[in-house]
Amino acid sequence: MGTPENTQRQQLLPKQAEPPTGSSTSSPLIRTLGLHVLRLLNWLVPLVLFLGVDFCFKKVFQAASFEFPSALFVMFCIFAVLMVLDYVNPFAALAFLNFFDPGVMFINRWLPLFYVPYLVVLPISVREIPASSAIKICCIIVGGWLATLSVSGFTAIAVRKAVKTEMIDPEPMEKPPPFSSIELWSWIAVFLVSFIMALLFPTALGTGARTCFLFYLASTVVGYIVGSGLPSKVKMIFHPVIFSLIFPNLVAYLFGLLSKQGYDAALGFYLTESSSDPGAGDILLEFLGPVILSFAFSMFKQRTLMKRHAAEIFTSVIVSTLFSLYSTAIVGRLVALDPSLTVSILPRCITVALALNIVSLFEGANLALTAAVVVATGLIGANFVQSALNILRLHDPIARGIAAASSSHGLATAALSAEEPEALPFSAIAYALTGIFGSLFCTIPAARQSLLAIAGSGWNS
């Protein structure tokens, strides 16, 4: 038997209409086509609303010179609306949730693509970083990950021993569907046609970014789909996001060679950072706002769990986030890392969508480096989080879930979910809350100044 909430949600789903008697032979085809259109609109409409709301609030906050991330503000508003509706009229809250669920599922399915652009252009963004600094950054990433994992996990254990709250079964979490061969071959066809057309008619669309847009987008998508289709053991080492950054770089090299523009010029068309002439990477980055908005729905679905284990979750998240930010600044200062690089890697344990928001509050931060460090931290967590938790003797599901997300965000959360579904809800909650709290903390001028003072003098926020 399903829960009352699940029963209500099932009642809200649209029922398939019965075919009329005496219909023509063409009606099955029409019904099939209509069903595909409805399915498309089912996720497209909420996704467009996400993008539109994020765009409007971003402009409003920019015009008012607000430093607080606009997407985070909207996320809190959505969560508040859901909570109020749930209190006043639970049926209306479920209807609201069901309407936006397909859009949220679309975001979750393609999530890595939305932060990969800065990784794609990494080869030309970090050339000025000295090798000695790169080694220091790598040491901070590895050591910082293990330290944050330990602090978060043991904090959760300590709070659990104090409050002694009994664990209950969480709400089941729906996973995005796998990619089909039709999707893969469709995107391959798009890539081949657009690549050939770009070579034959390089000025047809006016600018290089527009000419290269479609095949760069297709190569990023193909790389991610190919990587997602690999065996689980292979993905533990080569995460799909690696393929989604390798493929566009190979395509940039090939296009630069054939068009005689060179690799750097060709890759420059991927991410232009120009609103008047955006590349494929610029468009993908526009979805980072909706990614943050989607956190409101994830938290609402797990509101019962959040309320029951609030002490463990919030205490661990706050302690681990502050530890991560300040330990990074301290170690960066101790190893004499350039302050600009230290600031760029401060949010190493926070999901990319919010990490980029955080470093944008500091002048001169390297966004490409931030994205790379965050993803590297996630990859380390995805590969070693379970072994590390076992070595640390952290066997409690709540502590394991919180520690995984607080130290290495979404990638470790995904890796943990395959083997430990009981820890997944806690990891998903901590994944969102770590980024939210880190963003809120860094919007405080005094907090930023304290981090800058530790990282090194001569910097402005």
Predicted confidence at residue 172, as pLDDT, reads 66
Average confidence (pLDDT) over 229-234: 84
Is 154 a residue whose pLDDT tops 70? yes
Cα-to-chain-centroid distance, residue 401: 17
Is 278 a residue whose pLDDT tops 50? yes
Predicted confidence at residue 396, as pLDDT, reads 87
Predicted confidence at residue 16, as pLDDT, reads 42
Predicted confidence at residue 97, as pLDDT, reads 94
Is 259 a residue whose pLDDT tops 50? yes
Is 17 a residue whose pLDDT tops 50? no
The Cα–Cα gap between 13 and 15 comes to 6
Is 294 a residue whose pLDDT tops 70? yes
Q: Write b or e for each residue in 40-59: b if 16 or more Cβ atoms lie within 10 A of its Cβ, otherwise e.
A: eebbeebbeebbebbeebbe
Is 460 a residue whose pLDDT tops 70? no
Instruction: Find tokens 């989604």 and name the residue.
Output: 244
- pLDDT: is 20 or 391 the higher one? 391
Is 412 a residue whose pLDDT tops 80? no
Burial classification of residue 406, based on how many CB atoms lie within 10 Å of its CB (0-12 exposed, 13-18 middle, 19 or more buried): buried
pLDDT tens across 121-141, in order?
888 888 888 989 999 999 999
Domain ranges of the chain: 109-165+179-455
Is 417 a residue whose pLDDT tops 70? no
The Cα–Cα gap between 428 and 426 comes to 5
Predicted confidence at residue 88, as pLDDT, reads 95
- pLDDT: is 169 or 289 the higher one? 289
Predicted confidence at residue 457, as pLDDT, reads 58
pLDDT tens across 352-397, in order?
888 988 998 888 888 889 988 998 888 888 778 888 999 999 888 8
Burial classification of residue 78, based on how many CB atoms lie within 10 Å of its CB (0-12 exposed, 13-18 middle, 19 or more buried): buried
Predicted confidence at residue 409, as pLDDT, reads 80
pLDDT tens across 177-187, in order?
889 999 999 99
- pLDDT: is 23 or 98 the higher one? 98
Is 22 a residue whose pLDDT tops 70? no
Angle between helix 445-455 and helix 310-334 axes, rounded to 10 deg: 40
Kindly report which listed range (179-188, 338-347, 401-410) carries the lowest average pLDDT score.
401-410
pLDDT tens across 52-83, in order?
999 999 999 989 988 788 988 998 999 999 99
Number of Cα atoms under 13 Å in the Cβ half of residue 28:
1
Q: 441 with 325: CB under 8 angstroms?
A: yes
Average confidence (pLDDT) over 235-243: 80
The Cα–Cα gap between 152 and 157 comes to 9
Q: How far is CA 280 from CA 293, 381, 448, in A?
A: 22, 29, 32
Q: 287 with 280: CB under 8 angstroms?
A: no
**What mean pLDDT value characterizes the chain?**
86
pLDDT band at 292; cut points 50, 70, 90: confident
- Using only C-alpha atoms, the chain has a radius of gyration, in whole angstroms, of 23
Predicted confidence at residue 380, as pLDDT, reads 86
C-alpha distance across the termini of the chain, in Å = 55
Predicted confidence at residue 418, as pLDDT, reads 60
Average confidence (pLDDT) over 101-121: 89
- pLDDT: is 217 or 309 the higher one? 217
Kindly report which listed range (84-88, 187-191, 299-303, 331-335) carries the lowest average pLDDT score.
299-303
- pLDDT: is 446 or 299 the higher one? 446
pLDDT tens across 75-106, in order?
899 999 999 999 999 999 999 999 999 999 99
Predicted confidence at residue 65, as pLDDT, reads 85
The Cα–Cα gap between 60 and 62 comes to 5
The Cα–Cα gap between 224 and 219 comes to 9
The Cα–Cα gap between 364 and 424 comes to 36
Q: 378 with 411: CB under 8 angstroms?
A: yes
Q: 415 with 382: CB under 8 angstroms?
A: yes
Kindly report which listed range (36-40, 68-72, 196-200, 282-286) carries the lowest average pLDDT score.
36-40
3-state secondary structure the chain: CCCHHHHHHHHHCCCCCCCCCCCCCCHHHHHHHHHHHHHHHHHHHHHHHHHHHHHHHHHHHHHCCCCCCHHHHHHHHHHHHHHHHHHHCHHHHHHHHHHHHHHHHHHHHCHHHHCCHHHHCHHHHCCCCCHHHHHHHHHHHHHHHHHHHHHHHHHHHHHHHHHCCCCCCCCCCCCCCCCCHHHHHHHHHHHHHHHHHHHHCCCCCCCHHHHHHHHHHHHHHHHHHHHHCCCHHHHHHCCHHHHHHHHHHHHHHHHHHHHCCCHHHHHHCCCCCCCCCCCHHHHHHCCHHHHHHHHHHHHHHCHHHHHHCHHHHHHHHHHHHHHHHHHHHHHHHHCCCCHHHHHHCCCCCCCHHHHHHHHCCCCCCCHHHHHHHHHHHHHHHHHHHHHHHHHCCCCCHHHHHHHHHHHHHHHHHHHHHHHCCCCHHHHHHHHHHHHHHHHHHHCCHHHHHHHHHHHCCCCCC
Is 32 a residue whose pLDDT tops 70? yes
Q: Report which residue type is found at 418.
A: A
Predicted confidence at residue 4, as pLDDT, reads 46
Prediction pTM value:
0.81
> Tokens representing 359?
């470093």
Is 209 a residue whose pLDDT tops 50? yes
Predicted confidence at residue 170, as pLDDT, reads 63
